[in-house]
Structure 1
Amino acid sequence: MSLTDYLLNAVLVLLVVRQIRGSRLDLVNLVLPLAITVGVGFSYLHSIPTAGNDLVLIGGLAALGVALGVGAAATTRLNLGKDGVPFARAGVTAAALWVVGIGLRMAFAFASTHGMGPSIGRFSVQHSITPQAWVAALVLMALGEVVSRMLVLRIRGHRLTSNARRAQLAQAA
């Protein structure tokens, strides 16, 4: 892993701290994680290889990322702020799921450059996986985690806001 990779992962871990502190589900909190993720995607994802079992690996890790993101969003507490904007605060489970995703990617990257590279290479040859598939799979895992978390939180936030509006209208009637 390069210094840039470590710094990028540190930024993602800092997002966990921000989630634990809590934040409004406003435009800034939608754009920041998506901008980071899109930037990573453009930097690392140049193609999606389809040889051998590449798509199996890519699909599996992307699905794992989506599952981690949905789990993190589902275990995040949402409250309606006084201004009517939903406020999200990640609990221990949500933060742990986020860290698991980052940790798995970092552990793989570290292992591949610190002694496990030949083993990963042999595994890849035995299972018809190209080196480019590992890159695509890990990047799509991260994308799946971020996008699914954001999407589920936005849906939950919209429902919370809609239910509060209905309750206000019912009280006014």
Structure 2
Amino acid sequence: MSTTEYCIQIALILLVLRQLRGGKLDLAGLVLPVVLVGVTAVLYLRPFPTAGGDLTLEIVLGGLGVLLGTLAGLATRVWRTREGVFAKAGLAAAVLWVGGIGARIAFVLCSEHTGFGDQVTRFSIDQHITGQQAWVCAFVLMALGEAVARLVTIRVRAVLARTESRPLAARAA
């Protein structure tokens, strides 16, 4: 992994760690994840291999990212007060988010610096995965799926919190 790739992974971890302390959901909190997702897509999804088993790999890992992101979004507490809608990630949300990122980093490190790389090569041949770029795209799609699904889940829950008919909370618990 390059320094840029490590920086992107660290930025993704910081996004959820920032949510651990909780805060108001506003436009600024929406812009940073969208910018990170957009920049990552532009940097790493060209070319986008679809031959052989590439597309299957990309769909499976992208879907896993969406699942992890949705679960992390559901494990985030969302509430409203007179001041607006707030969110605070819980331990489960952090574990899901950091676990997905950690799994990607561990895979790359193990495949580059241990005998695990030979197993990845054999798996790739057996599954007709055409090369390293397919793996890169699959892991980027996993990260993007995780980020977008978490963001969308929290924002949908925020809209629902705004329209709730229950009395406003005096303050967050």
TM-score (norm 1): 0.90
Q: CA deviation at 1:117?
A: 2.4
Secondary structure, counterpart of 1:78 in structure 2: strand
In structure 2, how many angstroms separate the alpha carbons of the residues matched to 1:12 and 1:167? Answer: 35
Cα RMSD (Å): 1.6
In structure 2, how many angstroms separate the alpha carbons of the residues matched to 1:75 and 1:93? Answer: 6
2:91 corresponding residue in structure 1: 92
In structure 2, how many angstroms separate the alpha carbons of the residues matched to 1:24 and 1:66? Answer: 24
Q: CA deviation at 1:58?
A: 0.7
Q: CA deviation at 1:111?
A: 1.5
In structure 2, how many angstroms separate the alpha carbons of the residues matched to 1:11 and 1:151? Answer: 18
Secondary structure, counterpart of 1:50 in structure 2: coil
1:105 corresponding residue in structure 2: 104
Secondary structure, counterpart of 1:77 in structure 2: strand
In structure 1, how many angstroms separate the alpha carbons of the residues matched to 2:167 and 2:81? Answer: 15
Q: Does 1:150 align with 2:151?
A: yes
Q: Does 1:64 align with 2:64?
A: yes
1:50 corresponding residue in structure 2: 50
Stretch moving more, 39-48 or 153-162: 39-48
AA partner of residue 79 (structure 2): N
In structure 2, how many angstroms separate the alpha carbons of the residues matched to 1:34 and 1:104? Answer: 22
Q: CA deviation at 1:33?
A: 0.9
Counterpart mapping for 1:123-138 below 5 A: 123-130=123-130, 131-138=132-139
Greater share of residues in helix = 1
Q: CA deviation at 1:167?
A: 5.9
2:35 corresponding residue in structure 1: 35
Secondary structure, counterpart of 1:88 in structure 2: strand
Q: CA deviation at 1:118?
A: 2.7
Deviations 1:111-169 (A, max 9, x none): 121123232122111210122211111001111111111111111100110114x868x
> Does structure 2 conserve the Cα–Cα contact (< 8 Å) formed by 1:23 and 1:29?
no
In structure 2, how many angstroms separate the alpha carbons of the residues matched to 1:16 and 1:122? Answer: 35
AA partner of residue 111 (structure 2): S
Q: CA deviation at 1:15?
A: 1.5
1:161 corresponding residue in structure 2: 162
> Does structure 2 conserve the Cα–Cα contact (< 8 Å) formed by 1:69 and 1:144?
yes
In structure 2, how many angstroms separate the alpha carbons of the residues matched to 1:26 and 1:121? Answer: 45
Q: Does 1:75 align with 2:79?
A: no
Paired positions, count? 166
Deviations 1:8-34 (A, max 9, x none): 212222112101011221111111011
